[in-house]
Amino acid sequence: MANLIVVGSQWGDEGKGKIVDLLASEARVIVRFQGGSNAGHTVITKRGTFIFHLVPSGILYRGKLCVLGNGVAIDPGGFLDELDGLSAQGLKVGRNLVISHRAHLIMPYHKAIDRAAEEAKGARRIGTTGRGIGPAYVDKMARIGIRVGDLLNPQAFKRKLQENLVEVNSLLRHIHKTNGFQVDKIYTEYMSYAKRLKGYIGDVPLLLEKAMKKADPILFEGAQGTHLDIDFGTYPYVTSSSSCAGGACIGTGVGPTKIDAVLGVTKAYTTRVGGGPFPTELTDDIGENLKAKGQEFGATTGRARRCGWFDALLLRHAVRVNGLTSLAVTKLDVLDGFKELKICNGYRYNGKLYREMPSDLEMLTKCTPVYERFPGWKSETSGMVSYKSLPIEAKRYLSRIEELTGCPIDMISTGSRREHTIVLKNPLGPIKKPSRSRK
């Protein structure tokens, strides 16, 4: 049994929630390592539809330990609302959930700064989720962040808050011309959260070490995607955390030698929410068709996602920077009925052909994608569970993705339900059910 990292290979929303949910049945511990409530995972089970923002979706199973590592930015009010929502849906959350005392808190002023900074950017706005993610990580790096553990020490919490509000209020009032915050109001609010949160706070590196000593399989659940990573994404149109596989070590306190495999989740096409370059974006009827068929609206903000063709350059970059060992391709069924499909395998910029993802924003914005064309398939793949039954055109399309990315496909998702999945090889280790042949 392996310790497996699952990351998004594109710009987020690849369907990691469903894949993690499926793999969680065989893991013992499920850990989030970065991001915050900017993420939104939808999991559809027989018990209903669950939307997760902070809580790992592994909570749906009994006997699993769910963990929020130090790399996660915790909005305590949102987190408690999420717990209340889950409990209203019949889920028990107690000792099966642990939050690192090293994780940083999202404060009300982070959200205010996030919104004000976006507004000030005008047309160059990033299109953030407005959840205060960027400003919270800014404070972490500036060494003025307030951590989950500070909730257990009211005096230290108040002192840090007082110190921070001096600068924050000056920024909000004088630069952004908006209202500031009062120490007492935030203090009272956060101390009420502390009462409910304290039972969940723990030492994450220690408990993960204990799990590894028992050979309990650990699933590291990434949020967002490779191209939203603060270092390897389409900077500055990125989120403010390390959403690549390396973030799993930094964001939990587990050393790289303990990781066995990295699974990259990718849609069979591409989507992106918010601003930033997107070379294969389709602004025509095909893009609208993908949006409608794929129900491409964000689980967090409800915003429509931009849609486009599959981009092999994005994926090759993801394979490289994450050390992907295999892929899970999701939403194959959304491509059912398309007459022709395209995969981008190069960018043309200023008369030159590029085969690998450039880091230069201008090139990414102005390049023209170079496509390979594929015949589509007429029959439905929706809900299929066997590779054998896939139309030959779909098999060719998937094989070409493997060739172009140099990475094998382990799983193919053909619908939103757990069972609508083709498992060629279980990335977490030996498969319970016999593997389906590819012939």
Catalytic residues: 13, 41
Total residue count of the chain as it appears in this document: 439
Residue with Cβ nearer ligand IMP (2 or 7): 7
Q: According to CB under 6 A, which one of 129, 322, 413, 416 is a site residue for ligand IMP? A: 129
Please state, in angstroms and rounded to a whole number, the distance separating the CA atoms of residues 404 and 398.
10
Is residue 308 close enough to count as binding ligand IMP by CB under 6 A?
no
Is residue 133 close enough to count as binding ligand IMP by CB under 6 A?
yes
Task: Judge contact between 244 and 229, C-beta under 8 A.
Answer: yes
What distances in angstroms separate CA 255 from CA 209, 247, 252, 324, one per listed residue?
10, 11, 9, 17
Quick one: which of 349, 184, 347, 213 has its CA closest to 280? 347
Smallest distance from ligand IMP to CB 174, Å? 24
Binders of ligand IMP among residues 20 to 39 (CB under 6 A) are 38-39
Please state, in angstroms and rounded to a whole number, the distance separating the CA atoms of residues 360 and 175.
31
- Residue 349 pairs in a beta bridge with 352
Task: Judge contact between 71 and 34, C-beta under 8 A.
Answer: yes
Q: Which two tokens stand for residue 436?
A: 């389906």
Residue 223 phi, psi (nearest 5) = -115, 165
Q: According to CB under 6 A, which one of 102, 104, 110, 131 is a site residue for ligand IMP? A: 131
Task: Judge contact between 242 and 26, C-beta under 8 A.
Answer: no
Smallest distance from ligand IMP to CB 44, Å? 18
Please state, in angstroms and rounded to a whole number, the distance separating the CA atoms of residues 58 and 66.
6
Name the H helices within 198-272.
204-213, 246-250
Please state, in angstroms and rounded to a whole number, the distance separating the CA atoms of residues 420 and 93.
27
Residue with Cβ nearer ligand IMP (85 or 346): 85
Is residue 230 close enough to count as binding ligand IMP by CB under 6 A?
no
Smallest distance from ligand IMP to CB 220, Å? 16
The CB density around residue 374, as the number of other CB atoms within 10 Å, is: 18
Residue with Cβ nearer ligand IMP (147 or 272): 272
Residue with Cβ nearer ligand IMP (298 or 323): 298
Q: According to CB under 6 A, which one of 57, 240, 270, 416 is a site residue for ligand IMP? A: 240
Whether the upstream peptide bond of residue 434 has omega within 30° of 0, thus cis, is no
Q: Which two tokens stand for residue 262?
A: 């990295």
Q: According to CB under 6 A, which one of 4, 7, 13, 165 is a site residue for ligand IMP? A: 13
Number of residues near ligand IMP (by CB under 6 A)? 21
Q: According to CB under 6 A, which one of 234, 239, 280, 325 is a site residue for ligand IMP? A: 239
Q: Which stretch binds ligand IMP (CB under 6 A): 194-202, 211-219, 223-231, 325-333?
A: 223-231
What mask of x and - would describe binding to ligand IMP in positions 244 to 283, judged by CB under 6 A? Answer: -----------------------------xx---------
What distances in angstroms separate CA 12 from CA 40, 55, 142, 298, one per listed residue?
10, 17, 27, 10
Smallest distance from ligand IMP to CB 159, Å? 28
What mask of x and - would describe binding to ligand IMP in positions 87 to 116, judged by CB under 6 A? Answer: ------------------------------
Smallest distance from ligand IMP to CB 307, Å? 13
Task: Judge contact between 271 and 234, C-beta under 8 A.
Answer: no
Residue with Cβ nearer ligand IMP (241 or 426): 241
Q: According to CB under 6 A, which one of 6, 7, 12, 246 is a site residue for ligand IMP? A: 12
Smallest distance from ligand IMP to CB 12, Å? 3
| Site residues, ligand IMP (CB under 6 A) | 11-13, 38-40, 126-129, 131, 133-134, 223-224, 228, 237, 239-240, 273-274
